[in-house]
Amino acid sequence: MSSSEDDEEEVRVPLSQRQEWSDVEPIPQDDGPDPVVSIAYTDEFRETMDYFRAVFAADERSTRALELTAEVIDLNAGNYTVWHFRRLILESLQSDLQEEIKFIELVANKATYKNYQIWHHRRWVAEKLGTIATTSELQFTQKVLCLDAKNYHAWSHRQWALQALGGWENELEYCRELLEVDIFNNSAWNQRYFVITKSPFLGGLQAMRDSEVSFCTNAITKNPDNESPWRYLRGLYKGNNEAFVNDPAISKVCICVLEKNRNCVFALSLLLDLLCYGFQPTPDLNRILSTWGFSGSDQKYANFVCLILEKVDPMRARYWIWRRDSLPSHIC
C-alpha cells in the first residue's frame, strides 16, 4: 500500500492529461487577479482543486469523484467541504466502509492527528459500522495516543467509542499503563476519572474511592510536583468535604510530602483546603509549620499557610491573598 502511494507521488499525471477527466471543465477559484506562485507544487494543488470544484458543482457522485476527493484530501486534509462531499459519495455508492477505515488511517498517518476533519469522518464511519468497529476504534486511538498521549481528538473519540460501542473492560488498566509511562499525563488522569465514574463494570465513584485514593496518593508520593493527582484526589471527594477531611489517607499524604519538601505548593494548598474544611492540626503538622517559624498562638494555622503560599508561589500571590482574606472564621 505504501509503495503504490510512493509511486503515485513520483509519476503523478496532471488531471488535464488524464483520459477519464477529459469531459470535465475545471472551475478556477474566483478571488482576484492571477496569483504569484511561490512554491512548486501549487500547480498540482490548484489543478486538483479546480477539478474538485467542477465535480462538486455538478454533484457528481461517482467512483472517479471519490478518488478525486482522496487526491484533494491528500493535498489538504483540512478542507472540510471535501470531506462532506466524500461522505455524500460514500453514501450514494454504498461503499465498503471497512475500506474507508483503511483510507482514514493512511490519511491520518500522512497528515496530522490534530485535524478535526479526519476524526469527525472517522466517527461518522464508525457510527455506521456499529459495534463491529469497537476494537478497531480502541486500537486506532491507542495507536495515536502512543505517538501523542495527550491528543485531545483521540481522547474524545475514544470516550465516544466506549460510550457508543462499548469495550470498557480493560480501560482502567489502559489508564494505569499510560500513567506508568508518564505520570504527568493529565489526559490519562482525566480518562481514569471518566472510567471510574462512567464504566458500567466498576460500580461508580463510591465503590472505587478507597482503591483510587490509594493509587492517587502513591502517585503523589512519587512525584509531589505533579498537579494532576492532587486535583484528582479532590475529585474523588467532590461535594463531600466532610468525608474528605475525615479520610486519614488524605492528610497523611499531605504531611508526608511536606516532611520532605516544605515548599511544595500543591501540598500546602491541599493542607489549606483541609484546614478550611475543619481539619484539626496534629503534632506532625505543628512540627512542620514550626520550621517556618509558626508558634500556633498568635494566628490561625490556615492564615499562616496562606502566608507561606504567597511566598513560595509569588506568581499567584494575589490568589493566595484572596484565600487568606476569605478564610472561614470558625477554623483552625
* Interface positions with another protein (CB under 8 A): 29-31, 35-39, 41-42, 45-46, 49, 53, 56, 76, 78-81, 84, 87, 116, 120, 123-124, 150, 152, 155-156, 159-160, 184-187, 190-191, 193-194, 197-198, 227-228, 231-232, 234-235, 238, 315-316, 318-319, 322
Q: Give the nearer residue to another protein in terms of CB position, either 21 or 124.
A: 124
- For the bound state, the minimum distance from the C-beta of residue 283 to another protein, rounded and expressed in Å, comes to 30
Contacts of 12 (CB under 8 A, 6+ apart): 44
- For the bound state, the minimum distance from the C-beta of residue 174 to another protein, rounded and expressed in Å, comes to 15
Catalytic residue (choose from 102, 114, 252, 260): 114
CB-side neighbour CA atoms (13 Å) of 42 = 6
Q: Give the nearer residue to another protein in terms of CB position, either 307 or 321.
A: 321
Q: Give the nearer residue to another protein in terms of CB position, either 231 or 262.
A: 231
Integer Cα distance of 78 and 55 in angstroms: 19
* Cβ burial 225-245 (10 Å sphere, 16+ → b, else e): ebebbbbbbbbbbeeeeeebb
Q: Give the nearer residue to another protein in terms of CB position, either 18 or 238.
A: 238
Side chain identity at 306, as an amino acid letter?
Answer: C
Cell of 1: 500500500
Side chain identity at 25, as an amino acid letter?
Answer: E
- For the bound state, the minimum distance from the C-beta of residue 288 to another protein, rounded and expressed in Å, comes to 23
Contact 221, 257 (CB under 8 A): yes
Indicate if 311 belongs to the active site.
no
Q: Give the nearer residue to another protein in terms of CB position, either 148 or 284.
A: 148
DSSP tally for the chain: helices H, then strands E: 18, 0
Contacts of 63 (CB under 8 A, 6+ apart): 93
The 10 Å Cβ neighbour count of residue 28 is 12
- Element housing 181 (H / E): helix 171-181
Q: Give the nearer residue to another protein in terms of CB position, either 79 or 296.
A: 79
- For the bound state, the minimum distance from the C-beta of residue 311 to another protein, rounded and expressed in Å, comes to 15
The 10 Å Cβ neighbour count of residue 294 is 20
State CA 195 to chain mean position distance: 14
Q: Which has the closest alpha carbon to 122: 176, 77, 166?
A: 77
- For the bound state, the minimum distance from the C-beta of residue 79 to another protein, rounded and expressed in Å, comes to 5
Cα-trace Rg, the chain: 29
Q: Give the nearer residue to another protein in terms of CB position, either 162 or 254.
A: 162
**Where does 199-330 have alpha helices with state H?**
204-222, 227-236, 241-246, 248-260, 265-276, 283-290, 301-312, 317-325
Q: Would you name the residues annotated as active-site residues? A: 114
